[in-house]
Structures are given as structure tokens and as C-alpha cells.
Structure 1
Amino acid sequence: MLATQSKLAYHLNKYYTERTMSRKSMLASRVFEVGKTITDILKEVETQEPRFISTLNEVDGRLDGLDVISPTEFQVAFYLNQMGVFNFVDDGSIPGCAVLKLSDGRKRSMSLWVEFITASGYLSARKVRARFHTLVGQAIDRCNYRSCVKLMTDSTDVILLIRDVYTVRVIPAFKCTGIWPRSASHWPDPKVQWPMVNKVAEVKSNGFNLLSMQIPMSVERHSNAESDAWVMSFTHSEEVLISGGCRRRCLSILKTLRDRHLDFAGKSLNNYHMKTLVLYECEKHPREEEWIEVCIGDRLLGILIQFISCLQCRRFPHYFLPGVDLLAGSNPAILETAARTVWRLAREVITNGTNLDSL
């Protein structure tokens, strides 16, 4: 058994070196190219409007704040200058979302964001996004990027098309540190022995982000209030949780498989699905010794089997917000094709683990 594990681990690591590392190198050059353009535009936005803070910085050779959704699709959080006099309200009425309401006794005129506050006292994500959309359009002109950057007009989100190849979604956001949303209060599951207490404390202390973006298809429409709601994001918390052992290497291999075999029309499956699968696998295998290098084949197979189940059931719960389905709105035919493809990949790993060229 150990010999089989070791052989599979050896060939998966060989695959990582030959295929995944080349993917990483290609993405690094694209991120550099896209990052330079976006940084210039966002700095110009900050110059026009100091309430918007450009926080896209290079840290350890990578751009902190830029997420790779797929090889041609990127996402950037553009942080706003503190919430100040607003209360965070997460009543579950819009799954995966929350609202920011003016504190009791506070007048609209006392807020830094007075023009974006509704008559009911809510800070409107839609109004903030509309203002940001205008600022980005002006910044593109001032930075002389009009010939290579287009601001898409078919969405209320700020989506830039760079050189007719790369799409970058730039999202106004608030950092919420030191608090934890009610919708995620079930986490961590007391019956699961992962993560360790100190890591749970770190995650909850770091908090989460609130994003001003169109309510995703994964959220059921409930009322007109959703246009004023903010989408909850746990990107930083997820990065903390997948550190250690072979978790990141496993995720990198999954991303490579997605790019090579599961890049369907409409981007039904992206890197976020892969990360979520790794998080669920961590719960199933909570001990660190289950994530040593020799176990990478077992963990990858477990993830692929879970992936098949999600695709066939057509339900993929968000890790922190199980009421949000990450497959909602996806084309059933694409999900069926994806399930067959993932099964083929799993079968290839099981039956031909010493020759992974077809992957």
C-alpha cells in the first residue's frame, strides 16, 4: 500500500513540475502584465476620490489583492476607506449577503459616504458601484489606456477588457476585521477535528470582506433590497486554512486539471470551486499526517470523487455559507459533461498512476 502511495505521489509531483509549474510561470507573466495596467488605473481613481484606496501591492513577488479566477480572468478588491458609523447586519434574508445600516442616532450627513446612503439608512452597494464605474472610466482616459482597455457596459460591475484577451473585475470592498458573520456561525463544526483552535481564532480575527458586486446567480432573489446588499467574501480566511502540508500543491494540480479539461463556456467551473473542494477534504482528513507529500494521491482522488458527487447532485455548497450554492445557474448539460470528465480523470489516476501524460 505504501509503495503504491509513493509511486503515485512521485508521478503526481512529476506532473506538478512539468505541467503545473509551467502554468504558474505563464500566469505570473500575465499577472504582471495585467497588474501594471490595473495598478495605474486604480492609483488614478484614488487621486480623484480619496475614499477609494488602492491596495494592490507586490508582496513576495506576487500581487496581493489580485485573484486568478482562470487563465484569462482576474478579480481585484479595491478597498474603501472604513465603514465608520455603519452597523453590519447579517439577518440571512439574502443568503451570502449582508447590509450596512447607519448606526442609531447618526445622521446621514455625519457619514463619509453620505451620498450613497438610502432613505432607510443603508449604505447602497449599487450606488457605490455606480460611482466607482464612472471613476474608472475617467481614469482609463487620463492614463491613456483607451486603446488597450475597455470598460464593459453590459454589467453594473466594473469589468475591464484588456487587450481583448483578459477580463478583470474590480470590486469596491470593505474589510471587516474582528467580527464574524452570523451566517457562518456554524463554523467550525464541533464534530470535525479541523482546523486547530489557534487557526480558528486567527481566521475569525482576520474576519472577511464585503464586496459591492452584482448578486451572484448562486443567491436566490428575495427583494429589491439586494441591490443595496454587500456580498460576503472569505478569500483571506480560505488562504490561511489551506496552508501547510501538500494542500497548496494539491490545489495547484486541481487548477491545472481545470484549465486543461474543465474550461467550459460560461466559466461554470473556476478556481474557487477547486479551492472549496480542498477545504472540504481538509475536514474529512483533519490530521496533518494525512497531508504529507506521500498522501497527495489519496487526497487528490478523494477530492475528485467528491467533485463528481457535487456535479451529479448539481449542488456545491459554499464552504462558509452552505446556503449559497456555487453551481446555481449553471447549465445542466455542462455539469453532466463535467461529471463524466472528472470521472475519466479519476479513473486515469487510479488505473494509470505511473503515466499521467494524458492529464
Structure 2
Amino acid sequence: MYRPTSHRDSRLSLKLRQYYKEYATFSDYENEEANKTVEEIENLIKNCLEDIEKEEDLPYTFGNLLHQGSSYEGLKVMKPDEFDLMLPLVMKPGWKIKKPYGRYKTPGFVFIKKKQIYFSPTAIKQTFQSILQRKVINYIMRNIITGITLGVGSSGGPALTLNVCYDDNLKMSIDIVPAISRKGRLFVTKRHPNATDKKQDLYHKMWRESFSENEKHIIKTMDRSNECRKKCLKILKTIRIVNPCTQLRCLSSYHLKTCMLYLNKKNAGPWNEAYIDNRFRDLLLILIEFLNRGSMENFFEPGIDLFAGISKKGIRSTGRWLSKIVYSNRPNAIIKKLLCR
């Protein structure tokens, strides 16, 4: 961890606060209006799901919608324009969670079976693309609130994406993401890296455990009064998006959040706002550590490598690029190379 020889309000501290204020954050009014709109649409979705349960013969019932992602963790940057709602699917009696065996044994992945029948993520995708899309959209359009217009987008996966226009042409997207709920655990349709479309291949029938509720609890409670963990993470997330020279774009915001989860677990020193410069360096150092190692373990399931599927060459290149900036002898290297647009 970065340990300065003295404590002072450094130039980097001032620049970090300025960058956060100018680029990373948005107004309370914007946030309130966006959340109010999501809440109105969420209430309509709940009513529609009740009707679907009565009309359709499904192997599951719908649980209560869960608020997921950066907008509900206090980590959204720049605009309040993306919201994630997880829809738990509670399997009816007979369905069980089974750990994979033999060559299919993979950390974080499970089968959902009833006797010899596998409950496939593909079945969920088909349901969401037909029943939910048709009925949810029709229901919302019939009951839509004045001043809101709605369209359907594609997330590329099983999620149902609602594109919303509200409050004089402001825009947002709302993803409704299905997840199997079983004894307090959640499983999502994250495709296994070895999956193929062959019928005899069982990889494509596997579900991955989601730790989003665990993450949300840690993130929402990790900052006490006048502490800066979230601020440091939001600054780094913004750099990844807006800096035209950054190599961080090969990473996702989830990689950066994972770094903060690990850093929060360590004794990094005081997190008071006055030490934002040192703690931001610590966040960069732990990211460099993962990049140089070439792997990043999931915080809750170390057997899952979050760098899987990313070019090893790109990971190494990003590590060298960031190391050169952080370990530079030039005192303003972070300001000049990262805190720019």
C-alpha cells in the first residue's frame, strides 16, 4: 500500500476532487427524477408479472424484483441512465441445484435438474423474448405514465431491455435480468466459456452463481462519514470511459469494482477524504498487481478468473502502460496521463 512520508492536501488530491465534480458525478435532481421514473415502471412490471403467473404454465414463480448494479450501489457515473432489475425465478418443487461433475466441474457453475431433465438457460431466453417482451411491453404501453415513452432494445442476452424517454427527452435503459433463486442463492445465464451448441455438450446447460446481492451489501456500507472508497472507484470508472488515451477499455467496470472489494478488505490506511490521493494510488496499485499476474479472482469465488476471455497480450500491455504512469518519477504523471479528456 502507498505510504506517504507526510500528510498534506496534495495537488493530486485537489485534481481528483475537481475531476470527480466535473466529470464523474451528476445532480441530486437528475438522480431523483430518474429513480422516480424507474419506480413507476417497476410498479407496472410487478402488476404485469402477476397476470403472467395466472395465465401461463411456467416451471417457476416470479420473486420480488431486486435492485442491482451501479445505480443502486451509489457507483453510477456521469449520468443516471442505466438501471438493472433482477427478476428471481423461484423453481417449483422437484427442481434441484446440482454441482457439475467430471470434466464439467467448474467453480461457480451449476446444473438445475429435475430427475434427468436439465433446465436450460436457453429456455429462459426464449421465455423472455416471447412471453415477457410481448406482455410486459403491451401492459406498460396500456398503462404508461404521462410524459414517458418506451421502446424495446436488445441486450444480446436473456435480459429484456426497456429504452425509456422521460422528462423532456432524457433517456435511460432498464434491464430486466432473469435469475434462478434457490435457498438464498441466485444463478444467472452467464454462458460457460467452454459452451458450444452441440446437443451432447452440457456446458450450455450450466448456470453461474451471482454474488450481486453480496457485492451490493459491501459497497453500500463500506464508506463511513467523509470516507472516499466510492469516490476513488467512481473516478477510475470515469477515466475508463472518457480518457481518449486510456488502455483501461479492455477492462469492464466490474473489474475495477473487484479491485475495490479486495482493497477494502486490506489495511490500506485511513480512508478519510483528506487521504484520497494515497488511496487512489492504492486502487491503481492493486489493479496493476492483477494485470501483471494475468488473472483476477472473483472476490467471492476465487476459482473464477475474471480475465478469462480477454487477450493475455492486452492484459500485459495494459499492466505495463499503467505501471509506467504510477511508478513514474514525474510527480504529476497520474494527473497528466489519467485525469485528462
Q: TM-score interval w.r.t. the shorter chain?
A: 0.5 to 0.7
Q: Which residue of 1 aligns with 2:65?
A: 55
Q: What whole-Å deviation, never above 9, does each CA across 1:289-330 have from its counterpart, x for those lacking one?
A: 543334432232122123234335542221122222222222
1:98 aligns with 2:110: yes
1:125 paired residue number: 121
SS at match of 1:291: coil
* Structural mapping, 1:233-252, within 5 Å: 233-242=210-219, 243-244=222-223, 245-252=227-234
- 2:20 match: secondary structure: helix
Normalised TM-score (structure 2) = 0.68
Question: Residue deviations 1:232-270, cap 9 Å, x none?
Answer: 1111212333413432232222222222238999x7422
Matches within 5 A, 1:1-359: 1=4, 3-4=6-7, 6-7=9-10, 8-22=12-26, 37=41, 40-41=44-45, 43-49=47-53, 51-55=61-65, 74-81=83-90, 84-91=93-100, 93-102=105-114, 120-138=116-134, 139-144=136-141, 148-152=150-154, 155-160=156-161, 162=163, 168-177=174-183, 208-211=185-188, 213-215=189-191, 219-221=193-195, 224-242=201-219, 243-244=222-223, 245-261=227-243, 268-283=250-265, 285-286=266-267, 289-331=269-311, 335=315, 338-339=318-319, 342-343=322-323, 346=326, 351-352=331-332, 358=340
User: Aligned to 2:297, what secondary structure does the other structure show?
Assistant: coil
Closer, same or farther: CA 338–210 of 1 in aligned 2, 3 Å: same
Cα RMSD after superposing both structures? 4.4
Distance in 2 (alpha carbons) for counterparts of 1:35 and 1:27:
12
Hey, what does 1:192 align to over in structure 2? Answer: none
Specify whether residues 260 and 336 from structure 1 end up closer, same or farther in structure 2 by C-alpha distance, changes over 3 A only: farther
Which residue identity does 2:179 align to in structure 1? A
Confirm or deny: 8 A CA contact 1:151 1:158 kept in the other structure: no
Task: Give the C-alpha shift of residue 97 in structure 1.
Answer: 1.4
Give the superposition deviation at 1:170: 2.6
1:159–1:338 CA distance, 2 compared to 1 (3 A): farther
Other-structure match for 1:111 = none
1:260 counterpart letter in structure 2: V
SS at match of 2:202: helix
Q: Deviation at 1:127?
A: 2.0
**SS of residue matched to 1:308:** helix
Task: Decide whether aligned partners of structure 1 residues 261 and 85 sit closer, same or farther in structure 2, where only a CA change above 3 A counts.
Answer: farther
Q: CA deviation at 1:171?
A: 1.9
Equivalent residue pairs, number: 304
Name the residue aligned to 1:186.
Answer: none
Structure 1 residues 166 and 17 mapped into 2: Cα distance closer, same or farther (>3 Å)? closer
The question of whether the paired residues in 2 share the 8 Å contact of 1:88 and 1:101 is answered with: yes
- Using structure 1 for the length normalisation, give the TM-score: 0.65
Change (3 A) 1:162 1:210: same
C-alpha deviation, 1:224, in angstroms: 2.7
**What secondary structure is seen at the aligned counterpart in 1 of 2:88?**
strand
Are the structure 2 counterparts of residues 324 and 341 from structure 1 closer, same or farther at C-alpha, using a change threshold of 3 Å? same
Cα pair 2:159 2:176 within 8 Å, conserved: yes
Do the aligned partners of residues 63 and 347 (structure 1) sit closer, same or farther apart at CA in structure 2, a change above 3 Å counting? closer
The alpha carbon displacement at 1:78 in A equals 0.7
What's the % identity of the aligned pairs? 20
